Chain A
Amino acid sequence: MAHDARREDYLRMSLRFALSLDEGSPDHAARAFASFGRKFAQDRDALPQSDADRAFHLVALATELLDYRLPFAGDDLVEPLRSRARGMLDEAVSLDPSCHDAVRMRASLDTPSHEERLGLLSERAEAVRMACEAERDALVDMLEEPRRPLASSISMRPWWRWLAEMAECALICGHNHAAMEAAERLLESDPHDLSDVRFTLAYTLVKLEDATGLECLLERYPSLAAPRGADDAWILLARTALAFKRLELDDARGLLASLLRAYPRCGTALAQQVEIGDGLFARIRVPAYSEDELVVALSEGVVLLQEGVERTGKGVFGAWVAKTAAELDPAVPKGAATGMPPRGASRS
């Protein structure tokens, strides 16, 4: 599923538009809605909106720059892009001091230390949760029944993204119980897992070598992940890593083979294990079962791949994955499985 800032911007505006129409006649509403899409695309400022909506729009623009353009930008464009995005986020916060996404992204943008980021996020977590819940309750009161679920979801998303980043930061810092708690809290608040935090949770359970926990997560998959099955790169890599950690090497090899079946022609990505920067708004959106998705999963999987004492720097599991992928997929070029993992564009 994943978070989509542009789509969310559209949904927010359509909700606001609906609110402005609720007074009028149904006929009028239908006619007005017919023109909403065109106005949104061409004359956004003419639509009813609050400062919070304007702030979120800036968040969506900054997200495009930071999460989707920056990773592909040449060195000379990195600073200009960052600085433009920083300006947008600053403006968003000045328009709406409780634009939690802007506050969070602004802090993360200039805080390379994950411990510090985790500290900031934890400190403000309760306030953010309460603000989002209050927003949801107020909005739901104003809307007709059919629009309530969407309004409720939109109001809570900043909190979900907050928790998802907390879980990811905690995992990177090696606070695995904290990562698990944040992920479980998020799943409790959003049982449909819009944030795909179950991916982070799967890695966390492997870090804790909690085989029972990972089994339970697999059992919860149908309710969390539908319509996706339990064959995404994260859960398959997590299961492979756990089997490898338990020295069940035949199982690990079989699981890696199923990962390659789910992501055909991706042996080279598995062998190279490129590291890319995390999305600041949320995990970046990529097509399901694409090579890009595998790259994102592997990049987050550095915590599993690069662990242990190993001479090439790939890590114990990373070296095994690279070697085994090269054995399983004849298309992997010679040499891709050895040497240091290359680094992709990095944000900090």
Chain B
Amino acid sequence: MSIRDDLIERCAWKRNQKVGPLSKEAYAELSLAVRENPESFVDEDAERALLLLAGALDAYREASRNDDLLDDDAYAAEHARRLELLRQACERSLSLDEGCLDARLVSEIASDTEPDALATRLARLEKDLVARPDEGEPGGAWEDPFGRPRLRLIAALARTNVDAARFSLARDEASSVVAATLSSGDPLGARHTLMLACARLEDEEGLGATEALFSERESAWSHLSRVLLLYKLGRMSAARRALRGFDSLCAGGAYALLRPVYVDLYLPERPEVPACGFEEAIMAVREAEPIIADVPEFLGWCQGHDWLMASAQSFAERNDLDW
């Protein structure tokens, strides 16, 4: 679910309010038409602001496609330039609609500040919303496209709080997003943050309950969280089995764990990738970084398993990666 999807739903919903109510089929057709050509359905500044933002995010992603060809310095310069462009677009968006929460969120993330400062700023943004109840209910359901920016903000805040080592806050925030979006299947992936925070806090019950809610939807985060939790609880043979699961059920999981790969900022959500694939493993390991660093001998323990090393190495060879 992206900001563009929200925009389309909002335009369709507004048009339906004006001309409808439309039948289900007609509504689906309307949505399709909006997707084809959103510009012609946008007639208010709030939607204009979103359209501008969605365009800027597409441009950012498009420009990132050839980053692999750049060396580190060139990448850093190019990345900074691109984030600056994105921030300028957010400003334009906000000049159309100063209440455009998505633009504020993207602008904050794109400022590429330290997690601690970012968490503080996002928390303030969220607090200001509570003071203005017309901005959608705090626990509003995902079905309402007008309430989504706020849930997106809380999900980003939860992730940032993991980086800022504020795990209880992260757990509470992620849990509130999961509760609000559960009927839609947690499209923001807040369960991933929730599971990582539970693992760090050695909250076995919390992790178990979250796993049970999403029992058929395992992910790199769920596997990695289990390994970390069991390791922290000192149940080493269970931890070893869980590590084995992470390795065999997440493509390239072993490689991602032992050779962490750079992950760009989420603007403002994680990119959509296949469940339990290599890209997901890379993201899960990146997000778990502060938790892994807090168990200083964890990676050494992982490396002590020959099968894990062999698996990582053969993945590297098959995919032409450095080892």
In contact, B297 and A115 (Cβ under 8 angstroms):
yes
* Residues in B lying within 8 Å of A, measured CB to CB: 114-116, 119-120, 123, 163-169, 201-202, 232-234, 289-290, 293-298, 300-301
CA distance A309 to B165 in the complex (A): 8
The stretch of A88-96, A170-178, A224-232, A288-296 that contacts the partner chain: A170-178
Minimum C-beta distance from A324 to chain B (A): 12
Interface pairs (30), CB distance under 8 Å: A114-B297, A173-B297, A174-B232, A174-B294, A174-B296, A175-B233, A177-B202, A178-B233, A178-B234, A208-B202, A209-B167, A209-B201, A245-B165, A245-B166, A245-B168, A246-B166, A246-B168, A307-B293, A307-B294, A308-B165, A309-B114, A309-B289, A309-B290, A310-B115, A316-B115, A316-B116, A316-B164, A316-B165, A319-B116, A320-B116
In contact, A208 and B297 (Cβ under 8 angstroms):
no
Encode contact with B along A292-329: 1 for CB under 8 Å, 0 otherwise.
00000000000100011111000111011000000000
Residues of B near A178 (CB, < 8 A) are: 233-234
Residues of A near B201 (CB, < 8 A) are: 208-209
In contact, B232 and A308 (Cβ under 8 angstroms):
no
In contact, B169 and A307 (Cβ under 8 angstroms):
no
Known interface pairs A175-B233, A307-B294; A247-B169 also in contact (CB < 8 Å): yes
B116 partner, pick from A113, A208, A209, A308, beta carbons under 8 A: A308
Known interface pairs A246-B168, A319-B116; A307-B290 also in contact (CB < 8 Å): yes
Known interface pairs A247-B123, A317-B165; A310-B116 also in contact (CB < 8 Å): yes
Number of residues on chain A facing chain B (CB within 8 A): 27
In contact, B232 and A176 (Cβ under 8 angstroms):
yes
In contact, A311 and B114 (Cβ under 8 angstroms):
yes
Residues of B near A175 (CB, < 8 A) are: 232-234
CA distance A170 to B296 in the complex (A): 11
In contact, A173 and B295 (Cβ under 8 angstroms):
yes
Residues of A near B289 (CB, < 8 A) are: 309
Minimum C-beta distance from B287 to chain A (A): 10
Residues of B near A310 (CB, < 8 A) are: 114-116
Identify the closest chain A residue to B167 (Cβ): A209
CA distance A307 to B293 in the complex (A): 8
Minimum C-beta distance from A344 to chain B (A): 19
CA distance A303 to B163 in the complex (A): 15
Known interface pairs A177-B233, A247-B123; A309-B164 also in contact (CB < 8 Å): yes
In contact, A245 and B169 (Cβ under 8 angstroms):
yes
CA distance A115 to B234 in the complex (A): 10
In contact, A172 and B290 (Cβ under 8 angstroms):
no
Residues of B near A317 (CB, < 8 A) are: 165
Minimum C-beta distance from B175 to chain A (A): 14
Residues of A near B119 (CB, < 8 A) are: 247
Minimum C-beta distance from A117 to chain B (A): 11
Residues of A near B295 (CB, < 8 A) are: 173-174
Within 8 A of B (CB), among A145-203: 172-178
Encode contact with B along A248-272: 1 for CB under 8 Å, 0 otherwise.
0100000000000000000000000
CA distance A23 to B163 in the complex (A): 68
Identify the closest chain A residue to B289 (Cβ): A309
Residues of B near A309 (CB, < 8 A) are: 114-115, 163-164, 289-290
In contact, A247 and B165 (Cβ under 8 angstroms):
no
Identify the closest chain A residue to B291 (Cβ): A174
Residues of A near B120 (CB, < 8 A) are: 247, 249
Residues of A near B298 (CB, < 8 A) are: 174
Identify the closest chain A residue to B197 (Cβ): A209
Residues of B near A113 (CB, < 8 A) are: 297, 300
